[in-house]
Amino acid sequence: MLRRLTAMSACLVAASCSGGGGTGAGGLKVRIELPGTVEGTWTGFTGVLICRPEMTVTATGEGHAVWTGGTSRLTAPYGTYDFTHSAEEVALMVGSADISAGQSIVKVLGRSGNASFHIHVDFAYTVDGTGQQGIASGGYDCKAPA
Protein backbone atom coordinates (compact mmCIF):
# COMPACT_ATOMS: atom_id res chain seq x y z
CA MET A 1 0.00 0.00 0.00
CA LEU A 2 2.80 2.42 0.92
CA ARG A 3 4.56 1.61 -2.36
CA ARG A 4 1.40 2.45 -4.34
CA LEU A 5 0.90 5.74 -2.43
CA THR A 6 4.52 6.69 -3.06
CA ALA A 7 4.10 5.95 -6.78
CA MET A 8 0.92 8.01 -6.91
CA SER A 9 2.69 10.93 -5.21
CA ALA A 10 5.56 10.72 -7.68
CA CYS A 11 3.02 10.69 -10.52
CA LEU A 12 1.43 13.91 -9.27
CA VAL A 13 4.77 15.63 -8.72
CA ALA A 14 6.13 14.60 -12.14
CA ALA A 15 2.84 15.49 -13.88
CA SER A 16 2.97 12.24 -15.83
CA CYS A 17 0.87 9.32 -14.78
CA SER A 18 1.37 5.65 -15.18
CA GLY A 19 -1.87 3.82 -15.00
CA GLY A 20 -2.78 1.07 -12.65
CA GLY A 21 -2.66 -2.59 -13.38
CA GLY A 22 -4.13 -5.71 -11.91
CA THR A 23 -1.91 -8.50 -10.68
CA GLY A 24 -2.88 -11.96 -11.87
CA ALA A 25 -1.96 -15.29 -10.36
CA GLY A 26 1.71 -15.90 -11.04
CA GLY A 27 2.34 -12.19 -10.56
CA LEU A 28 1.55 -10.77 -14.03
CA LYS A 29 0.88 -7.03 -13.93
CA VAL A 30 0.11 -4.82 -16.94
CA ARG A 31 0.64 -1.05 -16.76
CA ILE A 32 -0.15 1.82 -19.11
CA GLU A 33 2.11 4.86 -19.15
CA LEU A 34 1.01 8.12 -20.76
CA PRO A 35 2.31 11.68 -20.39
CA GLY A 36 0.31 13.78 -17.93
CA THR A 37 -0.25 16.68 -20.34
CA VAL A 38 0.15 16.96 -24.11
CA GLU A 39 -0.13 20.08 -26.26
CA GLY A 40 -2.48 19.40 -29.13
CA THR A 41 -2.60 20.63 -32.72
CA TRP A 42 -5.57 22.32 -34.38
CA THR A 43 -6.50 20.78 -37.72
CA GLY A 44 -7.13 23.01 -40.74
CA PHE A 45 -10.57 24.54 -41.03
CA THR A 46 -12.41 21.89 -39.01
CA GLY A 47 -11.59 23.29 -35.57
CA VAL A 48 -10.66 19.87 -34.19
CA LEU A 49 -7.91 19.58 -31.58
CA ILE A 50 -5.76 16.44 -31.98
CA CYS A 51 -3.33 14.92 -29.48
CA ARG A 52 -1.15 11.93 -30.35
CA PRO A 53 1.00 10.95 -27.33
CA GLU A 54 2.91 7.71 -27.13
CA MET A 55 1.38 5.11 -24.85
CA THR A 56 3.64 2.44 -23.35
CA VAL A 57 1.99 -0.79 -22.22
CA THR A 58 4.28 -2.96 -20.10
CA ALA A 59 3.78 -6.40 -18.55
CA THR A 60 5.89 -7.43 -15.57
CA GLY A 61 6.10 -10.56 -13.45
CA GLU A 62 5.27 -13.93 -14.96
CA GLY A 63 2.72 -15.08 -17.50
CA HIS A 64 0.82 -14.05 -20.60
CA ALA A 65 -2.48 -12.21 -20.99
CA VAL A 66 -5.06 -11.40 -23.65
CA TRP A 67 -7.19 -8.27 -23.86
CA THR A 68 -10.87 -8.80 -23.05
CA GLY A 69 -12.22 -5.31 -23.72
CA GLY A 70 -12.14 -1.89 -22.19
CA THR A 71 -13.61 1.53 -21.67
CA SER A 72 -12.52 5.09 -22.26
CA ARG A 73 -13.86 8.46 -21.17
CA LEU A 74 -13.38 11.83 -22.82
CA THR A 75 -14.07 14.76 -20.49
CA ALA A 76 -14.21 18.28 -21.93
CA PRO A 77 -15.93 21.61 -21.23
CA TYR A 78 -18.64 20.58 -23.69
CA GLY A 79 -19.47 17.25 -22.01
CA THR A 80 -18.35 13.82 -20.88
CA TYR A 81 -18.45 10.88 -23.28
CA ASP A 82 -18.05 7.22 -22.31
CA PHE A 83 -17.01 4.53 -24.78
CA THR A 84 -16.97 0.74 -24.52
CA HIS A 85 -14.36 -1.19 -26.52
CA SER A 86 -14.32 -4.83 -27.61
CA ALA A 87 -11.20 -6.99 -27.20
CA GLU A 88 -10.48 -6.42 -30.90
CA GLU A 89 -10.71 -2.64 -30.52
CA VAL A 90 -8.33 -2.69 -27.53
CA ALA A 91 -5.93 -4.85 -29.55
CA LEU A 92 -5.98 -2.20 -32.32
CA MET A 93 -5.34 0.61 -29.81
CA VAL A 94 -2.49 -1.29 -28.14
CA GLY A 95 -1.08 -2.79 -31.33
CA SER A 96 -1.30 -6.39 -30.13
CA ALA A 97 -4.02 -8.84 -29.07
CA ASP A 98 -1.91 -10.07 -26.15
CA ILE A 99 1.06 -9.25 -23.95
CA SER A 100 3.64 -11.34 -22.10
CA ALA A 101 5.74 -10.65 -19.01
CA GLY A 102 8.82 -8.64 -19.91
CA GLN A 103 7.19 -7.14 -22.98
CA SER A 104 6.67 -3.42 -23.63
CA ILE A 105 4.53 -2.12 -26.48
CA VAL A 106 4.72 1.52 -27.61
CA LYS A 107 1.83 2.88 -29.67
CA VAL A 108 0.30 6.30 -30.31
CA LEU A 109 -3.01 6.80 -28.49
CA GLY A 110 -4.45 9.62 -30.58
CA ARG A 111 -7.70 11.33 -29.73
CA SER A 112 -9.47 14.49 -30.85
CA GLY A 113 -11.95 16.99 -29.46
CA ASN A 114 -13.39 20.46 -30.01
CA ALA A 115 -11.50 22.01 -27.05
CA SER A 116 -8.97 20.95 -24.42
CA PHE A 117 -9.94 17.55 -23.01
CA HIS A 118 -8.95 14.68 -20.73
CA ILE A 119 -8.82 11.04 -21.84
CA HIS A 120 -8.86 8.07 -19.46
CA VAL A 121 -8.62 4.43 -20.62
CA ASP A 122 -9.16 1.12 -18.81
CA PHE A 123 -8.07 -1.98 -20.73
CA ALA A 124 -9.17 -5.31 -19.23
CA TYR A 125 -7.12 -8.47 -19.58
CA THR A 126 -7.21 -12.12 -18.55
CA VAL A 127 -4.10 -14.09 -17.61
CA ASP A 128 -3.76 -17.34 -19.59
CA GLY A 129 -3.99 -20.54 -17.60
CA THR A 130 -5.34 -18.87 -14.45
CA GLY A 131 -8.35 -16.88 -15.58
CA GLN A 132 -7.19 -14.09 -13.26
CA GLN A 133 -8.43 -10.72 -14.49
CA GLY A 134 -6.86 -7.29 -14.31
CA ILE A 135 -7.28 -3.77 -15.62
CA ALA A 136 -4.52 -1.54 -16.96
CA SER A 137 -5.39 2.17 -16.75
CA GLY A 138 -3.96 5.49 -17.85
CA GLY A 139 -4.88 8.95 -19.01
CA TYR A 140 -3.68 12.31 -20.25
CA ASP A 141 -4.79 15.90 -20.71
CA CYS A 142 -4.83 17.37 -24.21
CA LYS A 143 -4.36 21.13 -24.03
CA ALA A 144 -5.00 23.60 -26.83
CA PRO A 145 -1.88 25.50 -27.89
CA ALA A 146 -1.57 29.01 -26.48
Domains of the chain are 17-143 (2.60.40.1470)
- CA 51/CA 67 separation, integer angstroms: 24
- In this prediction, residue 12 carries a pLDDT of 29
The answer to whether residues 22 and 136 touch, using CB atoms and an 8 Å cutoff, is yes
76-94 pLDDT, tens digit each: 999 999 999 999 999 999 9
* Mean local confidence (pLDDT), 13-39: 68
pLDDT band at 47 (very low <50, low <70, confident <90, very high): confident
Rounded to the nearest integer, the mean pLDDT of the chain is 85
User: At residue 52, what are phi and psi to the nearest 5 degrees?
Assistant: -135, 65
pLDDT band at 26 (very low <50, low <70, confident <90, very high): low
